[in-house]
Amino acid sequence: MSVTLRAPANPLDWLRIRLLYHQAFPRCERKPFKMIRHMQCQGRTDVWLAEQDGRFAGLAITINSEDVILLDYLAVHEKRRDKGMGSAMLQGLLALYEGRGLFVEIEATDRDDPTGIKARRKAFYLRNGLEDMHVIAMLFGVRMELLGRGCSLDFDAYHAFYRDNYSAWAADHVTRPEEN
């Protein structure tokens, strides 16, 4: 499957990204879109529009440090789901950021998962070449685990990533599970 990742180039691109962002992620998981745009203008965030055959297919939003990339959001347009688009997008991102580590935060799979969504999300990333980093952290009160490729983060490095790439306030909301 061929997918193109490119920076949004016009207001229609931004509208498509914003609409999918609001549709794909629950309010409690979304940052204010204005914050994402501000961080993008500062060069700390990349916003990617995914296209297949010239048609909008999804979005990816990353938070960037010099050597490590956090894949903060990845969403596939509903008409393109379950057809390998997410895998193609992730592979495209890994190629774009080759030479730098990439990691994701997912809700921890060691707790209740009645719908199986947490396990499916983890299986998706493992199937696409990410590995379990064996780091569990509380992120704004939610138990998260880290998966990555080309990077090695422990809890302290993860906490520092938030401090250095967001703010001290955000880093204060990254805690060890036993502290909660």
Cβ-contact 147, 131 below 8 angstroms: yes
Question: Which sign does the torsion angle of CA 147, 150, 153, 158 carry?
Answer: negative
Sorted by sequence, the CB contacts under 8 Å of residue 43 that are 6+ apart come out as 64
Sorted by sequence, the CB contacts under 8 Å of residue 19 that are 6+ apart come out as none
Could you say which residues of the chain have pLDDT below 50? 180
SS3 state of residue 29:
helix
Query: What is the model's pTM?
Result: 0.93
Pairwise CA distance, residues 146 & 171, whole Å? 16
The pLDDT, as a whole number, for residue 180 is: 46
Pairwise CA distance, residues 104 & 107, whole Å? 10
Pairwise CA distance, residues 86 & 74, whole Å? 8
Helix, strand, coil percentages, rounded to 5, for the chain? 40, 30, 30
The pLDDT, as a whole number, for residue 113 is: 75
Percent of the chain beyond pLDDT 70? 98
Q: Return phi, psi of residue 105, to 5°.
A: -110, 130
**Secondary element (H or E) of residue 163:** helix 155-165
Q: Are strands 55-64 and 68-76 parallel, antiparallel or unpaired?
A: antiparallel
The pLDDT, as a whole number, for residue 179 is: 53
The pLDDT, as a whole number, for residue 155 is: 96
Cβ-contact 94, 56 below 8 angstroms: no
Classify domain 1-89 at the CATH superfamily level: Gcn5-related N-acetyltransferase (GNAT) (3.40.630.30)
Q: CA angle, corner 24, sides to 35 and 107, nearest 5?
A: 85
How many CA atoms, within 13 angstroms, populate the side-chain half-sphere of residue 30?
Answer: 14
Q: Where are the domains of the chain?
A: 1-89, 100-180
